[in-house]
Structure 1
Amino acid sequence: MIGRLYTVVIDCPDPGRLAGFYEKLLSLSRQEDSGDYVVLRNAEGAPVVVLQRVADFRAPRWADPACPPQMHLDVMVEDLDVAEEQVLTLGATLLDGSDKPIGYRVYQDPVGHPFCLITPEGA
């Protein structure tokens, strides 16, 4: 083993605002908030997601090679329809071509990062 995943760092224009989205989406809590970055931790207290302010942030565009997504998160859910309603309420957007009834659907967070809601059938 070379190492272990410590955290995922997400560039964005406003870490404090985007942190609220990921707190609710991933059941995390705010551990640290400096204004330029926010650390979100899991129930065990480990940092999981860090949101980092980037002045010249360019949002990725789904399926556009000129602005590729560079990374995305898969979030396991029990029911796509229920989870979809919740993430849309938080400010996510369903992306084109994601009308799958089971398996997975692709969304973007409020600033454009793609993520998937997946079910055990889609994993």
Structure 2
Amino acid sequence: MIGNLFATVIDCPDPDELAGFYAELLGLSRQEDTGEYAVLQNDAGVAVLAFQRVEDFRAPRWPDPARPSQMHLDVLVENLDVAEEQVLAQGATLLDGSDKPIGYRVYADPVGHPFCLITPQ
């Protein structure tokens, strides 16, 4: 095992608004809200859904492949450098533009779906 699933992250134009919708729908509470990013948690305090602001958001149209779903997985790891080596060995690719900041890095799985490795910081 390389890491633990932290949250499913959903792209949207307004994280506060969409988090409110899902909080009501699923009975979740807010764990974090920065204006650019909102996280909902379950009763145990575990993050389960996150919402990130995307400028020029284009809503998905099911099942139109030209307008696919916009979500990705955040995988919680202890050490980004060690985890990066492991996911690259499994066939992932570090995405262009990922400046390897402290706290997270963005990759594509072997067929191109984005995911992030994140640390507790």
Q: Write the letter of the residue equivalent to 1:11.
A: D
Identity of aligned residues (%): 67
| TM-score between both structures, scaled by the size of structure 2 | 0.54
SS of aligned partner of 1:6: strand
Contact 2:11 / 2:70 at 8 angstroms: preserved in 1?
Answer: no
CA–CA distance in structure 1, aligned partners of residues 16 and 54 of structure 2: 13
**Gaps spanning 5+ residues in structure 2: where?**
73-121
Contact 2:10 / 2:71 at 8 angstroms: preserved in 1?
Answer: no
CA–CA distance in structure 2, aligned partners of residues 11 and 58 of structure 1: 10
Q: Write the letter of the residue equivalent to 1:25.
A: L
In the other structure, the counterpart of 1:113 is none
In the other structure, the counterpart of 2:52 is 52
CA distances 1:6-56 after superposition (whole Å, capped 9, x unpaired): 111111000111111110222210111111111111100011111111112
**Gaps spanning 5+ residues in structure 1: where?**
73-123
In the other structure, the counterpart of 1:29 is 29
In the other structure, the counterpart of 2:67 is 67
Contact 2:10 / 2:70 at 8 angstroms: preserved in 1?
Answer: no
Structure having greater relative contact order (Cα 8 Å, sep ≥ 6): 2
Report whether the alignment pairs 1:42 with 2:45.
no
SS of aligned partner of 1:2: coil
| TM-score between both structures, scaled by the size of structure 1 | 0.53
Q: CA RMSD in A?
A: 1.8
Q: Write the letter of the residue equivalent to 2:44.
A: E
CA distances 1:63-122 after superposition (whole Å, capped 9, x unpaired): 1121122559xxxxxxxxxxxxxxxxxxxxxxxxxxxxxxxxxxxxxxxxxxxxxxxxxx
In the other structure, the counterpart of 2:81 is none
Report the structure, 1 or 2, having the larger strand content.
2
Count of aligned positions: 72
SS of aligned partner of 1:57: coil
User: Kindly tell me: are residues 21 and 11 of structure 1, through their superposed partners in 2, closer, same or farther at Cα, counting changes over 3 Å?
Assistant: same
